[in-house]
Amino acid sequence: MKAAPQTRDQALRPRDFDVARVRQDFPILNEKIHGKPLVYFDNGATSQKPQAVIDALSHYYCAENSNIHRGVHHLSEQATAAYEAARSKIRDFINARADKEIIFVRGTTEAINLVAQSYGRNFLKAGDEIIVSAMEHHSNIVPWQMLCEQVGAKLRVVPINHDGEIVMDEYRRLLNDKTKIVSIAHVSNALGTIVPVKEIVTLAHERSIPVLLDGAQAVPHIKVDVQALGCDFYAFSGHKMFGPTGVGVLYGRAELLEKMPPYQGGGDMISLVTFEKTHYNVLPYKFEAGTPHISGGIGLGAAIDYLTNLDWDQVRAHEHRVLSYATEALSAIHGLRIIGTAREKAGVLSFVFDHVHAHDVGTILDQEGVAVRAGHHCAMPVMQRFGVPATARASFAFYNTIEEVDVLVRGIHRVLKVFG
């Protein structure tokens, strides 16, 4: 959604979304940092967790801890039921067709590696092409480069324009008979750009090319419907969507997952093992070797329950207000340049000064209690595209407020005072 200008009065006008109420659900937001109230603007790196998620983790270890899928005893059955219930919640949350299309992984990174190694190694050969964009996170670049080295395929990169938007004509031009997979971020972590992924998918599907969408930065902001998007794979991380670290999801269309060999071997992913031959388990277990992050899966289920109880139209409107207010306020600061000015953005405001390094910006803001990310955001090609070594990045969640943006702006003025 384009960030329409907001005056402070407009932005602060009472709305349906009760942000003060919602903030009470996140205990960490009461913390003081260097004696100042925490202003947490590093949600793109990881989001904070509501009490409901913390309670779910604690409850699992206090009352349910047991290994899953293996035991006949009560605790194991209880833990298995809770873990599998979380899978069903995830299915509903992204509108997948079936539980078997939901693979628990460690996070977005592992999900993309799984597809590269299982799908890629089996269905790509020398001379084939893989399309990514110039604004990908390293986790949507490096696994494909590794695959290219293994099978002799080529990585093709769709350029982005100066606002940080995909150049769709170039994408159309790059698609050809050699293209065997397209892998693109739904929302850019460094720029905040919302990518027109439905169009990306439609154009690829006209040539029967499968598409993976990296949803790491989309799921915390956008209601995702994998059937409506039509994508073949969708990857995301629990910890960026108010759930625990170490757990994430690969959604895959069942027809494709069925054709793909296991990614790792071990317990749980087999139906029969002999030294002569092993038979693999059915979906989704074929891709879930070994004891998984059980509490993490259950905690992610609790995060989804929490998110499902929010009114997403209100959440979107509130986030839009905060982002547009912050965009206006930072644009007015002399010498500050915003990197990433796409028409459609979610949650991210990256900025630079010519004469102050992003790390210095981040360090001084930290003294004011403001947590922003400073660096290349695991997207070095984006930095290269914009000719900067690093940016400072404020990334927002629905619990952030207009008043917090004011603290950020005062902090930036302090940075400028210190560095002249």
Ligand X SMILES: Cc1ncc(COP(=O)(O)O)c(C=O)c1O
Span 350-389, contacts to ligand X by CB under 6 A: 378
Q: Is 295 in the site for ligand X (CB under 6 A)?
A: no
Measured from the CB of residue 241, what is the shortest distance to ligand X in angstroms?
Answer: 10
Say whether 235 sits in a helix, a strand or coil: strand
User: Which C-beta is closer to ligand X: that of 10 or that of 384?
Assistant: 384
Q: Based on the shown chain and the rule CB under 6 A, indicate whether residue 189 belongs to the binding site for ligand X.
A: yes
- 216, 322, 346, 349: which one contacts ligand X (CB under 6 A)? 216
Contacts with 385 (C-beta within 8 Å, 6 or more apart), sequence order:
134, 135, 160
**Minimum distance from residue 345 beta carbon to ligand X (Å):** 14
* Residue 158 or 336 with smaller CB distance to ligand X: 158
Task: Tell which positions 49-78 bind ligand X, by CB under 6 A.
Answer: none
Strands 179-185, 233-237: pairing kind: unpaired
Q: Which residues pair with 211 in a beta bridge?
A: 182
Task: Specify the residue, 144 or 325, whose C-beta has the smaller distance to ligand X.
Answer: 144
Residues 312-351 touching ligand X, rule: CB under 6 A, are none
Please provide the DSSP assignment of 89-112 as one string. Answer: HHHHHHT-S-GGGEEEESSHHHHH
- Among 6, 48, 113, 237, which residue sits at the site for ligand X (rule: CB under 6 A)? 237
* Single residue of 80, 118, 193, 217 touching ligand X by CB under 6 A: 217
Contact 218, 187 (CB under 8 A): yes
User: Which alpha helices (DSSP H) does 207-345 contain, by range?
Assistant: 226-229, 254-259, 294-308, 312-331
Instruction: Exactly one of 62, 148, 231, 378 is catalytic; name it.
Output: 378
214 interacts with ligand X by CB under 6 A: yes
Within 91-110, the residues that bind ligand X by CB under 6 A are 107-109
Residue with tokens 């903030």: 23
Distance CA 157, CA 201 (A): 16
Q: Does 43 bind ligand X (CB under 6 A)?
A: no
* Sign of the torsion angle spanned by Cα atoms 133, 154, 152, 382: negative
Q: What stretches of 63-175 show up as alpha helix (H) in DSSP?
A: 74-94, 108-114, 121-123, 142-151, 168-174
Q: Are 43 and 29 in contact (CB under 8 A)?
A: no
372 contacts: CB under 8 Å, gap ≥ 6: 41, 42, 361, 362, 365, 392, 393, 394, 395, 408
139/341 with CB nearer ligand X: 139
Tokens of 146: 């590794």
Q: How many CB atoms within 10 Å of residue 344? A: 14
Q: Which is nearer to ligand X, 214 or 232 (CB)?
A: 214
Q: How far is the CB of 44 from ligand X (least distance, A)?
A: 6
Please tell me the count of residues contacting ligand X according to CB under 6 A. 13
Q: Are 324 and 6 in contact (CB under 8 A)?
A: yes
Least distance (Å) from ligand X to the CB of residue 378?
Answer: 6
Residue 185 found at the interface with ligand X (CB under 6 A)? yes
Q: What are the phi and psi torsion angles at 248 (to 5°)?
A: -160, -170
CA distance 261 to 283: 11
Instruction: CB nearer to ligand X: give 185 or 303.
Output: 185
Active site residue 378: yes
Least separation in angstroms between residue 207's CB and ligand X is 25
CB of 387 to ligand X, least distance (A): 21
Interacting positions 113-142 with ligand X (CB under 6 A): 137, 139-140
Q: Which is nearer to ligand X, 108 or 391 (CB)?
A: 108
Smallest gap from Cβ 242 to ligand X, in A, equals 13
- Active-site residues: which are they? 378
By CB under 6 A, name the binding residues for ligand X. Answer: 107-109, 137, 139-140, 185, 189, 214, 216-217, 237, 378
